[in-house]
Amino acid sequence: MYDVIIIGGGPAGLASGLACWKAGLKKVLIVERDQELGGILNQCVHSGFGVGIFKEELTGPEFAQKFIDELRETDVEVMLNSMVLSLNEDKSVEVIGPDGYKKLQAKAVILAMGCRERTRGAISIPGSRPAGVFTAGLAQKYLNMDGYLVGKRVVILGSGDIGLIMARRMTLEGAKVLACVELMPYSGGLPRNIQQCLKDFDIPLYLNHTVVDIKGKDRVEQVVVAEVDKNRRPIEGTEIVYDCDTLLLSVGLLPENELTKQANIKLDPRTKGAIVFENMETSVEGIFACGNVLHVHDLADNVAKEAEKAGEAAAEYIRGNSRSDKVVEIHNGNGVSYTVPQHIHYPATNNIDVLFRVNKVFGKSVIEVVDAKENLIAKFKREFIVPGEMEKIVLPKVLLDKAEGDITIMAKEVV
Amino acid sequence: MYDVIIIGGGIIGCAIAYYLSFYNLKVVLLEKENDVSCGTTKANSAIIHAGYDPKPNTLMAKHNVLGSKLTKELCEKLDIPYKQCGALVVGFTEDDLNTINQLYQRGLDNGVEGLEVLSREEVLKLEPNLSDEVKGALWAKTSAIVSPWEYALALAEVAVKNGVELKLNSEVKSIKKDEFFTVETTSEKYNGKYIINAAGVHSDDIHELIGKKEFTIKPSRGEYYLLDKSEGSRCSRTIFQCPNENGKGVLVSPTVHGNLIVGPNAESSEKDDVSTVASSLDFVKNNALRSIPSIDFRENIRNFSGVRARSDRNDFIVEESKSVENFFNLAGIQSPGLSAAPSLALEAVNWLKGKEELVKKENAVDERKRLKLKDLSDENKNELIQKNPAYGKIVCRCESITEGEILQCFDTVIPPVSIDGVKRRCNTGMGRCQGGFCGERITNILIDKLGIKPQEVLQDKEGSNIINSLAKEEH
Ligand SMILES: Cc1cc2nc3c(=O)[nH]c(=O)nc-3n(C[C@H](O)[C@H](O)[C@H](O)COP(=O)(O)OP(=O)(O)OC[C@H]3O[C@@H](n4cnc5c(N)ncnc54)[C@H](O)[C@@H]3O)c2cc1C
Ligand SMILES: Cc1cc2nc3c(=O)[nH]c(=O)nc-3n(C[C@H](O)[C@H](O)[C@H](O)COP(=O)(O)OP(=O)(O)OC[C@H]3O[C@@H](n4cnc5c(N)ncnc54)[C@H](O)[C@@H]3O)c2cc1C
C-alpha cells in the first residue's frame, strides 16, 4: 500500500512527489511511461525555464534535472517505462511495465499526466493526406531528441508556444519558415515568444487566417492559406499559396484526462481538466491534479508551484485533516475564459491563488472579484492581459471571509 | 512460369491468393504499392453488409449474401477484429418507411436472414441517441463491422505462407500474350498462363493493356470522419439512412477498434485522389447529425476518403474477358465489395477449375493468429512480460500497444516498411494523438529493423518520406 501514487513524471509529478516527501510521507511512488523523468521538458532544449522559482534561465532538461537531483536524495520510488492503464475511484491503479502487469493501491493519487497536442483531425483540415503534416511537438521531438529535421520549407498553423519555438528552432537549422498562420485575432503564445521566435527572424504572423487546403500526393507540396471572417470561416478570394514541404500544427494542447474520466472525476469543459478546489483536490476525495493535465500552462514554474500545493494537500489528506464541507464556486465573469481552482472550501484556510485566462486581448484593465451580492471583494490592476499568458491573482483570506455566496471574477478594460 | 498472375493486392486480390494457395499452383500477386491493402480496401465504411440493399438477381446480391456468411467464418479463422453488431436503416418520412418495407422485401428475396421492421418506439429503445424524428427502421441483425486492412493482410499472409509469391512495388505496365501471358512491371517480367485482374479503380486500365474496352470505371469518392473512442458508443449498431440514387447515404457506426465512423458522401473524382474537401465533409456532418444529433464532431481524430470502383454496368463484373482468353476480371467491385470478397474470390477459383483440374496441397494452412496483449489474462500478460520485457513497454499510449507487439510484426511473412504499415499491423498511431507521441519511436524502430537511414523512413507509400535531413548539431 502506497501513501501516494503520482501518475506522470514531468515537472508536475516531480514537484508534487518532492512536496509529499517534504511533508513527511514515506511511501510515495511516481509512475512514468517514458524511459526517463522530466516529461515534455526533455524535448524543450531552449532556455526560458526556471526564472520564477530558481531565478535563473534554464533549459527544459536543466529545469527538470534540478527536481530529479533533489528527488534522488529521497526515498520516493520511481517506476519508469511504466504506464498507468486504469484508475479507480478507490485509488487503485493498474500499471504495465517491464516488470509486469500490476494492481497497486494508494491512499491518495496525484494526477500529473500532462497533455497532448491537437492534431489535423481535431480541426478537420481538408486536402490530401501526404507526409509532412506534423504537430509541432512531434517535429520538436524529432529534432531535439534524434537530430532529425522534418522539412526545409515550412508553414506553421497556430501560434501556440511550441509552434513559435519551432519556427525559431527550424530556422536556425537552415529551414525556411514561410509564415505562421493564426485563426484567432490574437496569438495563443507568450508575447516574448512572438518577439524572439517570429519577429526577430522576420517570419510573418497572419492573424485571422487559416489553412484551407493541403496539396501533394506523397509529401506536402503546397499549403493554401486564407483569411477568415468574423465567424472564422474562410473568405473566398483571399487565398495565398505556399510552396512548401511541411505544415506544422500548433493548434492547442489537450489535457490527457482519460484516466480521470475512468475514476468518475468531474471535468470542467473549459479547461478540459478536473474541477478542483484551492488545494488541487478533485471531485473525488483523495485524488488531486496539477500541471498540464489540470489546465494548459505556459510556464513550467507555475506547474511546479501548483504541484507543490497538490503534494502538500495529499499529505494533509492522508493525515486525516479534511477541509470544510462548505463550497464556494468561482464563476467566470466578463472576459474570463476559465479559472483554477473552480471551487473553494469555505471558509478558506489561507490566501488563495487563482489562475485564469482571458478570452481576448485587454489593454490597461482591472480584474474585479465580486460575491453573489455583487459586493466588490478585491480588485487588481493590469497594464496588459493576453489569452496566451496565464494570469494569477491572490485572494487574501481576510477579504474572502467577507464574501457572501459564490464569487465571480471578471476583467474590464479601463479607458 | 506462373500458373496464375493476380494483379492487385486489395481485399479481392488477397482473397483470391488465399483460396488459390490451397492448391498446387504457382501463383504470384503483383501490387504496385509497398504493402497490400493500400487502395480502397483501407478506406471504406468497413461494414459487412447483410445483403438487403442490392437488387435481386444481381451479382451484387448473390455475392453479398454469400460473402457476408463466409466473411464471418474467415475472420474467426484469421483472428480478425469482426463484430456482428447489426445495422438499422432508419426512416424519417413516410417515403422512407415505404423504402424500408421494400428493403425488407428485397432482403427476403435475396435470402438475407435476421431482418425485422421496427416501429419508432422499438428502434429508439435499441438506439436511444437516435433523432426524435425517426419514424421506424429496418433491423438487419447479420450486418457486421470488421477491420478491412487487417483482413486483407491476414489473407495475404496465409497465402504467402502457403507459397504464393507477393511482389510489392510492382506496378503492372504492360501485358502481352503469345501462348502465355507476359506481364511487365516497373522492375520485372512475369510469365503466366492465367491473369486475374483485381486492380480496383484501375481494373479497366489493366484490362485495356491487352483487351478491348468492355467496361469503364467511373470513380466515386466517399469522405469520412473518424471520431475518438469517447464518441464510440453513440450507437451500438451501424445506422444507415434510406438509400437513394447516390448510394447508401451517410452512415454512423461503431468501429471494431471502438471509434465512431461517420460518412461517406459520393462525389465523382480522379481514381487516385483521396483528398477531402470542406464542402463534402460538411455534407457528411450535417447528414449524420440528422441520424444522431448528439455526435460531438470536436472529437474528430481523422478525416479520410476512399474511391469506389463504380462501373458503367452498375453491377460487379465477374467474368472472363470477352476479348482475351484466360484473363479473368473482378472489376467494378464497389460496395458491397468488402462483404462479397470471399464469394467473389471463390468465383475466380471456380472459373479456374473450369479451365483445368486443381489439386489440393497437402499441408496448406488456412488460419492465423495475432498476439494481442490486451486480450490476455493478467496472469498470461505477466508471463509474457517476464519472458520478454518489451511486452511491458507501451509505445502507443492511446491504443496501449507495446514494443513487443510492434517488434513481432517485423517477424511476419509480410513485414511493414512504413509507419502506416506498422499501424495497419498493430494499430499504433490510430488513436486520438494520431501518432504524435509514438511516431518518433516507430520511426526509430523502422530505422533499426529495416537497416535504413532516417531520411528513408516512410509515412506510407513510396515518396512519403518523413525526415528531410539530419540536424546541423545533434542535441
Ligand atoms: C514545446 C513546449 C515548450 C514549452 N516551453 C516553455 C518555456 O519556454 N518555459 C516554461 O516555463 N514552460 C514551457 N513549457 C511549458 C511546460 O513545459 C509545461 O507546462 C510543463 O512541462 C507541464 O508539466 P507536466 O508535468 O504537467 O506535464 P508533462 O511535462 O507533459 O509530463 C507529464 C508526464 O506524464 C507522463 N504520463 C502521462 N500519462 C501517464 C500514464 N498513464 N502513466 C504513466 N505516465 C504518464 C508522461 O509521459 C509525461 O512524462 C513548454 C511546453 C511545451 C510543450
Ligand atoms: C467510400 C467507400 C465505402 C465503402 N464501404 C463499403 C462497406 O461498408 N462494405 C463493403 O462491403 N464494401 C464497401 N466499399 C467497397 C469496398 O471497399 C471495395 O469493394 C473493396 O475494397 C474493393 O477491393 P479491391 O481489392 O477490388 O480494390 P483495392 O483495395 O483498391 O485494391 C486494388 C489494388 O490494385 C492495385 N493496383 C492498381 N493498379 C495496379 C497496377 N497497375 N499494378 C499492380 N497493382 C495495381 C492497387 O494498388 C490496389 O492495392 C466501400 C468503398 C468505398 C470507396
- CATH code of B239's domain: 3.30.9.10
User: Hey, is the C-beta of B461 within 8 angstroms of any chain A C-beta?
Assistant: yes
Residue B475 has pLDDT above 50, yes or no: no
Cβ B402–A96 below 8 Å, yes or no?
yes
In a domain, B474, yes or no: no
Kindly state the DSSP code that residue B35 receives in the 8-state scheme: S
Cβ A148–B471 below 8 Å, yes or no?
yes
Tell me, what amino acid is at A281?
E
Among the partner residues B278, B440, B464, nearest to A218 by beta-carbon distance: B464
Cβ B435–A138 below 8 Å, yes or no?
yes
Residues in chain A with CB shorter than 8 Å from the CB of B278 are 124, 126, 212
For B276-305, the DSSP string reads B-HHHHHHHHHHHHHH-TT--GGGEEEEEE
Buried b (16+ CB within 10 A) or exposed e, B120-146: beebbeebebbbeebebbbbbbbbbbb
pLDDT tens digits, B182-214: 999 999 999 999 999 999 999 999 999 999 999
pLDDT over 70, % of chain B:
99
In a domain, B472, yes or no: no
Domain boundary among B288, B307, B326: B307
| pTM of the entire predicted model | 0.95
Is B8 in contact with B197 (CB distance < 8 Å)? yes
| Phi and psi, residue B260, nearest 5° | -115, 130
Mean pLDDT of B302-313: 96
Which residue of chain B comes nearest to A218, CA vs CA? Answer: B464
Which residue of chain B comes nearest to A83, CA vs CA? Answer: B394
Which residue of chain B comes nearest to A134, CA vs CA? Answer: B436
Buried b (16+ CB within 10 A) or exposed e, A25-48: bebbbbbbbbeebbbbbbbbbbeb
State the residue for C-alpha cell 496501449.
Answer: B400
Residue B245 has pLDDT above 90, yes or no: no
Of A238, A246, A232, A115, the C-alpha closest to A178 is A246
In a domain, B469, yes or no: no
In the three-class reduction of DSSP (H, G, I as helix; E, B as strand; rest coil), residue B42 is classed as: helix
Residue B248 has pLDDT above 80, yes or no: no
Together in a domain, B342 and B387:
no
Residues in chain B with CB shorter than 8 Å from the CB of A101 are 378, 381-382, 385, 392
Together in a domain, B249 and B298:
yes
Together in a domain, B166 and B177:
yes
Tell me, what amino acid is at A4?
V
Is A121 in contact with A249 (CB distance < 8 Å)? no
Counting ligand 1 atoms within 8 A of each CB, the residue from A30, A37, A41 with the most, and so the one to mutate, is A41
Together in a domain, B253 and B166:
no
pLDDT at B473: 59
Residues in chain B with CB shorter than 8 Å from the CB of A97 are 392-393
Question: Which numbered ligand comes closest to the C-alpha of B336?
Answer: 2
In a domain, B462, yes or no: no
Among the partner residues A101, A143, A245, nearest to B381 by beta-carbon distance: A101
> Whose C-alpha lies nearest to ligand 1, atom 9?
A49
Q: Residues lining ligand 2, judged by CB closer than 6 Å?
A: B 7-13, 30-33, 38-41, 44-47, 49, 171-172, 198-200, 202, 206, 222, 264, 306-308, 333-339
Q: Which B residues 164-183 touch A at CB under 8 Å?
A: none
Q: pLDDT category, B58, cuts 50, 70, 90?
A: very high
User: Hey, is the C-beta of B378 within 8 angstroms of any chain A C-beta?
Assistant: yes
pLDDT at B374: 87
Mutate to test the interface with A, among B265, B275, B461 (most CBs of A within 10 A): B275
pLDDT tens digits, B143-168: 999 999 999 999 999 999 999 999 99
Give residue B198's domain range.
1-81+146-216+309-369
In a domain, B463, yes or no: no
Together in a domain, B54 and B66:
yes
CA angle at residue A101 from A99 to A103, to 5 degrees? 120
pLDDT over 90, % of chain B:
95
CATH of residue B25: 3.50.50.60
Residue B474 has pLDDT above 60, yes or no: no
Distance between Cα B10 and ligand 2 center (Å): 6
Together in a domain, B133 and B118:
yes
In a domain, B467, yes or no: no
Cα–Cα distance measured from residue B326 to residue B448, given in angstroms and rounded to the nearest whole number:
44
Tell me, what amino acid is at A303?
V
Cβ B304–A147 below 8 Å, yes or no?
no
Residues in chain B with CB shorter than 8 Å from the CB of A45 are 475
Distance between Cα B63 and ligand 1 center (Å): 53
In a domain, B278, yes or no: yes
A258: left (phi over 0), alpha (psi -120 to 50) or beta: alpha
CA contacts within 13 A on the Cβ side of B88: 28
Q: Residues lining ligand 1, judged by CB closer than 6 Å?
A: A 7-13, 31-34, 39-41, 44, 46, 48-49, 83-84, 112-114, 137, 140, 161-162, 165, 256, 259, 291-293, 297-301, 303
Domain boundary among B281, B307, B333: B307
Q: Which B residues 302-321 touch A at CB under 8 Å?
A: 302-304
Domain boundary among B259, B277, B307: B307
Is A393 in contact with A354 (CB distance < 8 Å)? yes
The pairing of beta strand B144-146 with beta strand B172-177: unpaired
User: Hey, is the C-beta of A116 within 8 angstroms of any chain B C-beta?
Assistant: yes
pLDDT at A323: 81
Distance between Cα A202 and ligand 2 center (Å): 47
Residues in chain B with CB shorter than 8 Å from the CB of A129 are 274-276, 304
| Residue B49 bears catalytic tag | yes
pLDDT tens digits, B386-402: 999 999 999 999 999 99
Together in a domain, B61 and B160:
yes
Together in a domain, B151 and B211:
yes
In B53-157 the beta strands, taken as DSSP E runs, fall at 82-83, 87-91, 115-119, 136-140, 144-146
A to B CB pairs, distance under 8 Å:
150
Residue B247 has pLDDT above 80, yes or no: no
Residue B103 has pLDDT above 70, yes or no: yes
In a domain, B181, yes or no: yes
Mutate to test the interface with A, among B417, B430, B468, B469 (most CBs of A within 10 A): B468
Together in a domain, B37 and B153:
yes
Together in a domain, B191 and B179:
yes
Together in a domain, B267 and B328:
no
Distance between Cα A361 and ligand 1 center (Å): 26
Together in a domain, B227 and B134:
yes
What does pLDDT average to over chain B? Answer: 96
pLDDT along chain A (415 residues), means of 10: 98 98 97 96 92 92 96 97 97 96 97 96 94 97 96 96 95 97 92 95 97 97 97 96 98 95 96 97 97 95 96 96 88 96 93 95 95 94 92 94 94 91
Which residue of chain B comes nearest to A81, CA vs CA? Answer: B393
Cα–Cα distance measured from residue B306 to residue B420, given in angstroms and rounded to the nearest whole number:
16
Residues in chain B with CB shorter than 8 Å from the CB of A173 are 471-472
Question: Which numbered ligand comes closest to the C-alpha of A40?
Answer: 1
Residue B423 has pLDDT above 80, yes or no: yes
Question: Which numbered ligand comes closest to the C-alpha of B65?
Answer: 2
For residue B17, give how far its alpha carbon lies from the nearest alpha carbon of chain A (Å): 28
User: Hey, is the C-beta of A101 within 8 angstroms of any chain B C-beta?
Assistant: yes
Atom of ligand 2 nearest to the CA of B38: 49
Cβ A81–B378 below 8 Å, yes or no?
no
Cα–Cα distance measured from residue A11 to residue A44, given in angstroms and rounded to the nearest whole number:
12
How many folded domains does chain B comprise?
Answer: 3
Mean pLDDT of B398-407: 94
Of B468, B33, A120, the C-alpha closest to B457 is B468
Continuous H helices in B139-291: 148-161, 203-208, 278-291
